[in-house]
Amino acid sequence: MIDIKSLYFDELEKIITDNGFPKFRAKQIWDWLQKGVTSFDEMRNIPKNLIDFLAGSCYISVANIEKKLVSRYDKTVKYLFCLNDGEYIESVVMSYHHGYSICVSTQVGCKMGCTFCATGKSGFSRSLTASEILAQIEAAQNDLNIRISNIVLMGMGEPLDNFDNVIRFLKLVSDESGLNIGMRHITLSTCGIVPKIYELAEYKFALTLSVSLHAPDNATRSKTMPVNNRYPIEQLIKACRDYFDKTGRRISFEYAMIDGVNDTDECAEKLAMLLKGLNCHVNLIPVNTVSGTGYQKSKTERQQAFIKILEKSGTPATVRRTLGSDINASCGQLRRKTVDNT
Ligand code: SAH
Ligand code: SF4
């Protein structure tokens, strides 16, 4: 069966015409798909023989709402979606003064095994198709009756470990006749799969690359992020410099502050040295406590001391506000509760 919502328009058109249907039908079908229909029967201006052909050869990816949690503090909404094959994924919708932003998943689980991460703890099931990433946005928009303006690929999974589907998603979601969310409104977060950063740079997308750094040296980073054994920090930073040179886009570094692990003054000094001369911004996030990890967030005084050192050295950094703290808004936590019951 063909995953119809993962097709580019010209691919859809080819299938329609190759099977003897008039070309203009492709545009009609495309428009229905953009509206978020979940069955071919809803395509009211399509003749019965074409509906039968579509139903017999294609399927529409859906993200059905299994659970929905709304934060009492800041209206952040977290969804647990069920996919066509019964797998669960999470998405979070955040409301900012400039509009709505959604954090989408790119895989069911993750292979990377970062020790602080709820997704990493539940193992890996499979990668998502482009249509399944799109379906999260459409389902949230339809449920909340809003238009989403920003996307962050920071949910479950490692986007660069699902490279081809993520590229397809990026092209589809930014298409003017699709959801039309421009690359400047998209952030892709990676744990640092170095060869794929080089590959992504070649596309010259205007998106923001966010690199989950979380430590300033190999010894500290390898303790929490196994990917660092494969692609050590020097290689990662070199790839980031290349990314900036090729795309002109400032890199954003994520740094989850963990009490007693990566939050010393020495860590801040090393971090400042590491990022010297690189056009970047550091987002400091007090780590979210995930059951079974034993990690605690850094104390407020530590966060402030850390940021002061960065500022003094001219490294732009901010401590990020955490949204949805009452609804386990950091991705992976809700699925883990449902599937693993932890
Ligand atoms: N796999 C990608 C994107 C998904 S994770 C990546 O790792 O970048 C999205 C972000 O959440 C990453 O920056 C990740 O390091 C961070 N994260 C995961 N678990 C966290 C936790 N318990 N507290 C704070 N940030 C966490
Ligand atoms: Fe995977 Fe990102 Fe979690 Fe690491 S932080 S396990 S790469 S989802």
Q: How would residue 335 be classed by pLDDT, with cut points 50, 70 and 90? A: low
Cα 277 to middle of ligand 1, angstroms: 25
Q: Is the CB of 101 under 6 A from ligand 1?
A: no
pLDDT for position 74? 82
pLDDT for position 322? 67
Q: Is the pLDDT of residue 280 over 70?
A: yes
Rounded distance, CA 237 to CA 231, Å?
10
Cα 126 to middle of ligand 2, angstroms: 14
For a mutational test of ligand 2's pocket, the pick from 110, 153, 196, i.e. the residue with the most ligand atoms closer than 8 A to its C-beta, is 110
CATH 1.10.150.530 maps onto the chain at 2-59
- Phi, psi (degrees; rounded to nearest 5) at 35: -75, -10
Q: Is the CB of 140 under 6 A from ligand 2?
A: no
Point out the ligand 1 atom lying closest to the alpha carbon of residue 254.
Answer: 13
Rounded distance, CA 277 to CA 28, Å?
51
Cα 247 to middle of ligand 1, angstroms: 24
Point out the ligand 1 atom lying closest to the alpha carbon of residue 157.
Answer: 1
Q: 122 or 178: which carries more pLDDT confidence?
A: 178
User: What's the mean pLDDT in 315-320?
Assistant: 91
Task: Give the neighbor-by-neighbor strand order of the sheet with 77-82.
Answer: 64-70, 77-82, 88-96, 99-103, 148-153, 186-190, 208-212, 251-257, 280-286, 317-319
Q: Is the CB of 228 under 6 A from ligand 1?
A: no
Q: Is the CB of 117 under 6 A from ligand 1?
A: yes
pTM of the model: 0.95
| 175 Cβ neighbours under 8 A, 6+ residues apart | 9
State pLDDT tens for residues 74-90: 889 999 999 999 999 99
Point out the ligand 2 atom lying closest to the alpha carbon of residue 113.
Answer: 6
Point out the ligand 2 atom lying closest to the alpha carbon of residue 118.
Answer: 3
pLDDT for position 290? 87
Nearest alpha-carbon partner for 101 in 134, 147, 133: 147
pLDDT for position 332? 59
Right CATH for 65-340 from 3.40.1710.10, 1.10.3720.10, 3.30.300.30, 3.20.20.70: 3.20.20.70
Q: Is the CB of 155 under 6 A from ligand 2?
A: no
Q: Is the CB of 116 under 6 A from ligand 1?
A: yes
| Closest Cα to atom 21 of ligand 1 | 288
Catalytic residue among 191, 240, 280, 331: 331
State pLDDT tens for residues 229-275: 999 999 999 999 999 999 999 999 999 999 999 999 999 999 999 99
Q: Is the CB of 160 under 6 A from ligand 2?
A: no
Q: Is the CB of 215 under 6 A from ligand 1?
A: no
Q: How would residue 342 be classed by pLDDT, with cut points 50, 70 and 90? A: very low
Angle at 200 between CA 197 and CA 201, to 5 degrees: 85
User: What's the mean pLDDT in 121-131?
Assistant: 95
Q: Is the CB of 179 under 6 A from ligand 1?
A: no
Please say whether the beta carbons of 323 and 72 come within 8 A: no
Cα 48 to middle of ligand 1, angstroms: 47
User: What's the mean pLDDT in 143-150?
Assistant: 96
Structure tokens at 283: 């987002």
Q: Is the pLDDT of residue 96 over 60?
A: yes
| Closest Cα to atom 19 of ligand 1 | 117
Q: Is the pLDDT of residue 188 over 50?
A: yes
Right CATH for 2-59 from 1.10.238.10, 1.10.150.530, 3.40.50.880, 3.40.1160.10: 1.10.150.530
Q: Is the pLDDT of residue 111 over 50?
A: yes
Q: Is the CB of 112 under 6 A from ligand 2?
A: yes
Return the percentage of the chain with pLDDT > 90, whole number.
Answer: 87
Q: How would residue 341 be classed by pLDDT, with cut points 50, 70 and 90? A: very low
Point out the ligand 2 atom lying closest to the alpha carbon of residue 111.
Answer: 1
CATH 3.20.20.70 maps onto the chain at 65-340
| 11 noted as active-site residue | no
pLDDT for position 238? 98
pLDDT for position 339? 58
Point out the ligand 1 atom lying closest to the alpha carbon of residue 289.
Answer: 22
| 114 noted as active-site residue | no
State pLDDT tens for residues 2-24: 999 999 999 999 999 999 999 99
